[in-house]
C-alpha cells in the first residue's frame, strides 16, 4: 500500500494540506498512522479524500458528507443514508428467482448448448454460479415460459435474440423515466440535494413511489397495446398472402 506524507496526499487528491487537517478535525478523514513524529497516510486516506472531493463538487455540504460517511461506516446502505430507504430498499422487480443445476436449466429451456445458456445469462435471465455447475434463474416465469415456447417448436437462439432486443429497449425506457425523476429533483431542490427532515424525506419517497406505480402500469399497458397492434398487422399481412406470394 502506498504511503504519503500530508503534502503528498493533498497533492495526489487535488486539495490542500489545510483541507486535509480540516477534514480530520471534522471526522471526515481517519487519523493518520504515526511513525515517530511523522504522520503517514495511505491509499485508504486518498480514496476517502477523493470521495469527499467528488461529493463537494456535486453540491453536498460538509455536514451531509459527515452523515453519509457515518452511515456507511455503520453499514447503512446508500438509500438509508440519504433518507429514502423506505422506497428504495425493496427492488422494483418482483420477478421470482430459482436455483437449479446446469442440467436442470438445460431441461427447462430444452437445450444442451452452452452458447444458449450463455445467451440467457447475457440478457440477464440467469446467472452462472459454482463455476457453471449451477445457475440462478433471475426471472422464473420468463425462463419457464421460454422453455414452453421451445417445446412448441420455436428456436431458442431466436428467442434469446428477440428478448435481448426487448431488454435493450426497456433499458432505454427505464433510463428515460429515471432521468425524468432526477430532473424533477434537481429542478425543485437543486443538484446534489438530499432530504433534510421527515417532511422532505416523505416528499421524495412519495414522488418515487408514485413514479414507480404509474410507470409500471404505463409500461405494462403500452406493451399490451403494442402487441395488439403488431398482432393485427402481422395477422392481416399473413392472411392476405397467397401461396405463390409466400413461396416467392
- In tens, the pLDDT along 35-66 reads 888 899 998 899 888 888 877 776 777 777 77
Tell how strand 98-101 and strand 33-35 pair up. unpaired
Do 100 and 135 touch, CB atoms closer than 8 A? yes
Question: What pTM, to 2 d.p., does this model score?
Answer: 0.45
Residue 83 has pLDDT above 70, yes or no: no
In whole angstroms, give the CA distance from residue 233 to residue 44.
61
Q: Show the beta-strand stretches assigned E in the chain.
A: 3-4, 33-35, 38-42, 98-101, 126-129, 134-137
In whole angstroms, give the CA distance from residue 230 to residue 218.
18
Grid coordinates representing 8? 503528498
Instruction: Give 187-222 pLDDT, tens digit per residue.
Output: 766 666 666 655 666 666 666 666 666 666 666 676
Output helix, strand, coil percentages for the chain, rounded to the nearest 5.
70, 10, 25
Grid coordinates representing 124? 440477464
Residue 18: pLDDT band with limits 50, 70, 90: very high
Q: Show the beta-strand stretches assigned E in 19-95.
A: 33-35, 38-42
Q: 16 or 248: whose pLDDT is higher?
A: 16
Do 51 and 66 touch, CB atoms closer than 8 A? no
DSSP structural state of residue 241: -
Amino acid at each position: 500500500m502506498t504511503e504519503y506524507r500530508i503534502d503528498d496526499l493533498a497533492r495526489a487528491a487535488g486539495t490542500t494540506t489545510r483541507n486535509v487537517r480540516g477534514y480530520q478535525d471534522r471526522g471526515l478523514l481517519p487519523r493518520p498512522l504515526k511513525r515517530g513524529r511523522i504522520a503517514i497516510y495511505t491509499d485508504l486516506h486518498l480514496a476517502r479524500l477523493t470521495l469527499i472531493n467528488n461529493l463537494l463538487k456535486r453540491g453536498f455540504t460538509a455536514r451531509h458528507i459527515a452523515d453519509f460517511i457515518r452511515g456507511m461506516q455503520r453499514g447503512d446502505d446508500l438509500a438509508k443514508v440519504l433518507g429514502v430507504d423506505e422506497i428504495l430498499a425493496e427492488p422494483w422487480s418482483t420477478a421470482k428467482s430459482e436455483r437449479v443445476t446446469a442440467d436442470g436449466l438445460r431441461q427447462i429451456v430444452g437445450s444442451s448448448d452452452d452458447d444458449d445458456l450463455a445467451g440467457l445469462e447475457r440478457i440477464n435471465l440467469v446467472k452462472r454460479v459454482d463455476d457453471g455447475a449451477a445457475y440462478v434463474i433471475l426471472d422464473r416465469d420468463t425462463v419457464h415460459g421460454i422453455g414452453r415456447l421451445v417445446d412448441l417448436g420455436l428456436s431458442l437462439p431466436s428467442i434469446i435474440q428477440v428478448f435481448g432486443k426487448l431488454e435493450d429497449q426497456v433499458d432505454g425506457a427505464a433510463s428515460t423515466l429515471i432521468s425524468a425523476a432526477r430532473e424533477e429533483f434537481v429542478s425543485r431542490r437543486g443538484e446534489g440535494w438530499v432530504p433534510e427532515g421527515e417532511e422532505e424525506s416523505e416528499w421524495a419517497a412519495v414522488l418515487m413511489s408514485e413514479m414507480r406505480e404509474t410507470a409500471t402500469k404505463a409500461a405494462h399497458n403500452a406493451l399490451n397495446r403494442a402487441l395488439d397492434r403488431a398482432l393485427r398487422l402481422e395477422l392481416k399481412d399473413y392472411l392476405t398472402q397467397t401461396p405463390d406470394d409466400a413461396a416467392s
